[in-house]
């Protein structure tokens, strides 16, 4: 019954990093300045390392390009995608903060129905700091929001909730559609502001979009691998989906919650549906095998850390999805490399300071 | 992609009955007149049969009191609760229509954020006539609503959806809280209008409230038994919950969907929390055994009708919950009686015309 004692939202200034896969325009950071300026930014440049990313004055940031990633990770850099925003997960690895917020550079500040600018980060923090309810659905949505609670019939033993690992935010204006839907509905815009946050129930998969995403890095960080996409890979635009399915299976195993709904950002422009179709088409049919795989994936109870869960999942990916396409054998190996690299960078407790600029 | 061809909502005038457990005030039907007048009402009087329920002119209705129920069902009337709104399920049994909408007499017409009166029944019909998505969560909520669709990463093979069995509507103003929450938060009102309809995922239980509820009687009717509550029973206010848990387990088994969210009604007044506590307190601790029971209940694949599923569930209730309290042995027997009575009234295809008034 959190609504009975509403406290101001902590800012988590020293506990949260903002990870941005690339910045193609200065307007992006200018628009977010009032909300982001007090946080540390980690920018992971997704393409040609010789290009210069300009960051406006006043932001505290570190920037990694491909050369930095290669230097820091050595041969293990192979697990980080090149020329694809999936490279953002390198930022999760080098961060030393408890929380991560990641956002795309075509996402701007949205307005709520009253016309007020939405502080997306503040809502993500609220979502992450309040428990989740993965074991039973509450019909008035997040019972920990002000003005809401558990409804009649909600078991009292479940009202303490579960730790929240992920806060998945949504998008007004351009919806996150696949290429076929983009092609069929070129004019569709999301104008419906749904004033809700809810927990995706245990045992249920959902399509996690990386555009506007917060998570507890200390809890679930090692599962937030965005896979092998982009340059040299047969598939794109499944990076966040892959992370979402792996992460959800692991959260279900660990008893943690995943929230979706608020906050909205304003997604300014649709990516090219023809390019997207080329990236997605293998994913569209592979996915028909991936979903049953993840729906039936069981992790043994001996897996008690996220790393152990993830290595086990990689093993199952290799065994079961390797038959679908050899790409998944390569991906399973990259999943293991990712965990090795994560542990290498995160075991000492020291902060990497190999970034290009500061 | 239903949004691409939006058709006017059919009214289902000849296919839907409105079931009301009792009517304590004339205002109720007057307020709903523009929305209900074209439908047939089934009123099931929940208390003293000698009291007269006044129905305003212009409504087409049939009314059943306890004497009618006893006459029609004979010894099987024992499965219908007395002096409790749980008796409403008798109305589901005597209806011959495909759809049922049931509403409490303290529920009035709500307004949407633009100040327009909400036609709750029309929204229930929309929910029931469009498919559900129980097998995978769609982050933009009901993909069949205008302006929405399946998001990137939603498997294409699941986009045909599943038949919708139940549409669970919500309440503005007085939220549906249990007695302890009512006592702790006497002033809480639900003012948040969440503009969403969503499918409760397969494998997830939720607290189904009978205040504002639509369902496809042809699909799920026999599972909509509201149990033994009220006069002579050790428990109250778990009638709709019980129906919801039984129904959800059966829908999951049959591959059907359950939607929750819109439409809202205006719940005008809170019931007495002290009276409610007395009704609920056994339920509050029994529930801690009920939920694990329903969460782990498995129906054998030989159960291919709702009746078969329900009889099997009654058997499991007797075996497993009978140990919790002898009440559940009595309830399990009543579940079987309910199905026998349902089949008796519904096998001939003839409409019962034993009602008191018309």
List pLDDT tens digits, range A294-312: 999 999 999 999 999 999 9
Q: Distance between CA atoms of A127 and A336, rounded to whole angstroms?
A: 30
Residue B348 is predicted with a pLDDT of 60
- Strand B164-173 versus strand B40-44 pairing type: unpaired
Structure confidence by residue, pLDDT tens digits, B146-183: 999 999 999 999 999 999 999 999 999 999 999 999 99
State the nearest Cα–Cα gap between B134 and chain A, in angstroms: 9
SS3 call for B278: helix
* pLDDT of B354 strictly over 50: no
Nearest to B147 among A154, A192, A201 (CB): A192
CB environment A244-267: b (16+ within 10 A), e (fewer) = bbbbbbbbbbbebbbbbbbbbbbb
Instruction: Report the pLDDT averaged over residues A112-139.
Output: 98
Q: Distance between CA atoms of B131 and B143, rounded to whole angstroms?
A: 9
State the nearest Cα–Cα gap between B354 and chain A, in angstroms: 35
Name B172's bridge partners: B266
A239-254 vs A306-316: helix crossing angle, rounded to 10: 120
Q: Which helix (H) or strand (E) holds B342?
A: helix B327-347
Instruction: Say whether B147 and A207 touch across the interface (CB within 8 A).
Output: no
Q: How buried is A14 (Cβ within 10 angstroms: 0-12 exposed, 13-18 middle, 19+ buried)?
A: exposed
* pLDDT of A9 strictly over 90: no
Contact with chain A for residue B287, Cβ under 8 A: yes
Q: Which chain B residue's Cα is nearest to A188?
A: B147
Nearest to A207 among B113, B153, B195 (CB): B153
Q: Which of residues 290-309 of A touch B (CB under 8 A)?
A: 291
SS3 call for B28: helix
- DSSP per-residue codes, B90-125: HHHHH--SSEEEEE-TTEE--B-TTSPBP-HHHHHH
Average pLDDT of chain A to the nearest whole number = 94
Chain A interface disruption, residue of B152, B209, B251, B289, most A CBs within 10 A: B152
Instruction: Say whether B194 and A193 touch across the interface (CB within 8 A).
Output: no
Nearest to B291 among A155, A193, A204 (CB): A155
Contact with chain B for residue A241, Cβ under 8 A: yes
Q: Among A67, A33, A23, which residue's Cα sits nearest to residue A48?
A: A67
Residue B8 is predicted with a pLDDT of 80
Q: What would the 3-class secondary structure string for A217-253 be?
A: HHHHHHHCCCCCCECCCCCCCCHHHHHHHHHHHHHHH
- Does domain A16-345 fall under CATH 3.90.550? My reply is yes
Q: What are phi and psi of A259, to 5 degrees?
A: -105, 150
Q: Distance between CA atoms of B281 and B180, rounded to whole angstroms?
A: 9
Q: What pLDDT band is residue A7 in, cutting at 50, 70 and 90?
A: confident
Nearest to B149 among A148, A158, A185 (CB): A185
Structure letter (DSSP) for residue A74: G
Q: Among A109, A55, A31, A113, which residue's Cα sits nearest to residue A266?
A: A109
Q: Among A229, A123, A26, which residue's Cα sits nearest to residue A43?
A: A26
State the nearest Cα–Cα gap between B129 and chain A, in angstroms: 21
* pLDDT of A68 strictly over 90: yes
pTM for this structure?
Answer: 0.95
Determine contact, residues B125/B36, Cβ cutoff 8 Å.
no
Instruction: Give contacts of A287 with chain B, Cβ < 8 Å.
Output: 153, 155-156
* pLDDT of B349 strictly over 60: no
Q: Which of residues 247-276 of A touch B (CB under 8 A)?
A: 260
Proportion of chain A above pLDDT 70, given as a percent: 95
Instruction: Give contacts of B113 with chain A, Cβ < 8 Å.
Output: 113
Q: Distance between CA atoms of A216 and A263, rounded to whole angstroms?
A: 16
Residue B5 is predicted with a pLDDT of 56
Q: Which chain A residue's Cα is nearest to B283?
A: A153
Q: Distance between CA atoms of A191 and B142, rounded to whole angstroms?
A: 14
* pLDDT of B70 strictly over 60: yes
Contact with chain A for residue B8, Cβ under 8 A: no
Structure confidence by residue, pLDDT tens digits, B7-18: 788 889 999 999
Residue B353 is predicted with a pLDDT of 44
Q: Which of residues 100-119 of A touch B (CB under 8 A)?
A: 113
Contact with chain A for residue B207, Cβ under 8 A: yes
Q: Distance between CA atoms of A62 and A57, rounded to whole angstroms?
A: 13
SS3 call for B258: strand
Nearest to B205 among A4, A137, A184 (CB): A137
CB atoms within 10 A of CB B111: 13
* pLDDT of A146 strictly over 50: yes
* pLDDT of A354 strictly over 60: no
SS3 call for A75: helix
Instruction: Considering only residues B10 and B243, tell me which one the structure prediction assigns the higher pLDDT.
Output: B243
Structure letter (DSSP) for residue B254: H
Residue A6 is predicted with a pLDDT of 61
Q: Distance between CA atoms of B345 and A38, rounded to whole angstroms?
A: 69
Q: What pLDDT band is residue A270 in, cutting at 50, 70 and 90?
A: confident
Residue B268 is predicted with a pLDDT of 95
- The residue ranges of every structural domain in chain B are 16-345
Instruction: Report the pLDDT averaged over residues A194-203.
Output: 98
Contact with chain A for residue B127, Cβ under 8 A: no
Q: What pLDDT band is residue B1 in, cutting at 50, 70 and 90?
A: very low
Q: Distance between CA atoms of A309 and A210, rounded to whole angstroms?
A: 22
Q: What pLDDT band is residue A1 in, cutting at 50, 70 and 90?
A: very low
Instruction: Give contacts of A151 with chain B, Cβ < 8 Å.
Output: 175-178, 207, 209
Q: Distance between CA atoms of B329 and B339, rounded to whole angstroms?
A: 16
Nearest to A155 among B177, B194, B287 (CB): B287
Residue A349 is predicted with a pLDDT of 46
* pLDDT of A4 strictly over 70: no
Q: Among A154, B108, A220, which residue's Cα sits nearest to residue A144?
A: A154
Q: What pLDDT band is residue A42 in, cutting at 50, 70 and 90?
A: very high
Ramachandran assignment for A147, one of left (phi > 0), alpha (psi -120 to 50 degrees), beta (any other) = left
Instruction: Say whether A208 and B153 touch across the interface (CB within 8 A).
Output: yes
Q: Among A96, A84, A72, A78, which residue's Cα sits nearest to residue A355?
A: A72
Task: Give the position of tokens 């076929």.
Answer: A180
- Strand A212-216 versus strand A164-173 pairing type: antiparallel
Q: What pLDDT band is residue A178 in, cutting at 50, 70 and 90?
A: very high
Contact with chain A for residue B147, Cβ under 8 A: yes
């Amino acid at each position: 019954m959190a609504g009975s004692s509403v406290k101001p939202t902590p800012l988590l200034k020293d506990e949260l990093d903002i990870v941005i896969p690339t910045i193609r325009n200065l307007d992006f950071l200018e628009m977010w300045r009032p909300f982001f300026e007090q946080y540390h930014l980690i920018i992971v440049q997704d393409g040609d390392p010789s290009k210069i990313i300009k960051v406006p004055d006043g932001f505290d940031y570190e920037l990694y390009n491909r050369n930095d990633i290669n230097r820091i990770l050595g041969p293990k850099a192979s697990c980080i995608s090149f020329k694809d925003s999936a490279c953002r997960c390198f930022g999760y690895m080098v961060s030393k903060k408890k929380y991560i917020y990641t956002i795309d550079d075509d996402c701007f500040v949205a307005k709520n129905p009253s016309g007020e600018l939405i502080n997306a980060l503040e809502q993500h923090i609220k979502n992450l700091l309040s428990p989740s309810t993965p074991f039973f659905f509450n019909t008035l949505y997040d019972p920990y929001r002000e003005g809401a609670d558990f409804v009649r019939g909600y078991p009292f033993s479940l009202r303490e909730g579960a730790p929240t690992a992920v806060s998945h935010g949504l998008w007004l204006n351009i919806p996150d559609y696949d290429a076929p839907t983009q092609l069929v509905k070129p004019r569709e815009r999301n104008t419906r502001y749904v004033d809700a946050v809810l927990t995706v129930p245990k045992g249920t998969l959902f399509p996690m979009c990386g555009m506007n995403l917060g998570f507890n890095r200390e809890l679930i960080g090692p599962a937030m691998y965005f896979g092998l996409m982009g340059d040299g890979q047969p598939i794109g635009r499944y990076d966040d989906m892959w992370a979402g399915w792996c992460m959800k299976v692991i959260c279900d195993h660990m008893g943690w919650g995943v929230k979706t709904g608020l906050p909205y950002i304003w997604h300014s422009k649709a990516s090219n549906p023809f390019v997207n179709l080329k990236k997605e088409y293998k994913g569209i049919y592979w996915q028909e095998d991936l979903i049953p795989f993840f729906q039936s994936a069981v992790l043994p109870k001996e897996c008690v850390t996220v790393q152990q869960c993830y290595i086990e999942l990689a093993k199952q990916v290799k065994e079961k999805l390797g038959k679908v396409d050899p790409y998944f054998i390569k991906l399973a190996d990259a999943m293991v490399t990712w965990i090795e690299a994560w542990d290498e960078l995160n075991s000492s407790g020291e902060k990497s300071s190999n970034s290009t600029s500061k």
